[in-house]
Amino acid sequence: MTASTWIALLGACLLISVTPGAGAINTMNNALNVGFRRSLWGIGGQQAALLIQLVVVAAGLGLVVANSPVAFAVIRYVGAAYLMYLGIAQFRREPVPADAPDAADPDAPDAADSDAVDAESGTAMFVRGLWVNLLNPKAIVFLVAFIPGFVRPERDLLVQYSQIGVTIVAVDVLIMWFFFALVGRTFRRISGTARGQRRINRLFGVLFIAVGVMLAVL
The 8-class DSSP code of residue 60 comes to: T
Q: Is the model's pLDDT at 150 over the cut of 50?
A: yes
190 in Cβ contact with 196 (< 8 Å): yes
Average pLDDT over residues 135-157: 79
pLDDT band at 123 (very low <50, low <70, confident <90, very high): very high
184 in Cβ contact with 27 (< 8 Å): yes
Q: Is the model's pLDDT at 144 over the cut of 60?
A: yes
What residue ranges do the domains of the chain occupy? 22-217
Q: Which of 2, 8, 30, 16 is nearest to 188 (CA)?
A: 30
Of 18-27, 53-62, 121-130, 141-150, the poorest mean pLDDT is in 141-150
- More confident of the two residues 89 and 193: 89
Strand, coil or helix: what is 191? coil
Of 8-12, 116-120, 171-175, the poorest mean pLDDT is in 116-120
At 73-115, the pLDDT tens digits run: 888 888 889 889 988 988 888 876 544 444 434 444 444 444 3
Burial of 11 (C-beta count, 10 Å sphere; 0-12/13-18/19+): exposed
To 10 degrees, the CA torsion angle through 123, 124, 127, 131?
A: -170
- More confident of the two residues 190 and 101: 190
Largest CA distance in the chain: 63
Most confident of 60-69, 146-155, 175-184, 185-194: 175-184
Average pLDDT over residues 115-128: 76
At 30 the pLDDT is 92
N- to C-terminal Cα distance for the chain?
Answer: 35
The 8-class DSSP code of residue 132 comes to: H
Q: How many residues are given for the chain?
A: 218
The 8-class DSSP code of residue 134 comes to: H
176 in Cβ contact with 19 (< 8 Å): no
Cα separation, 133 vs 193, in Å, equals 32
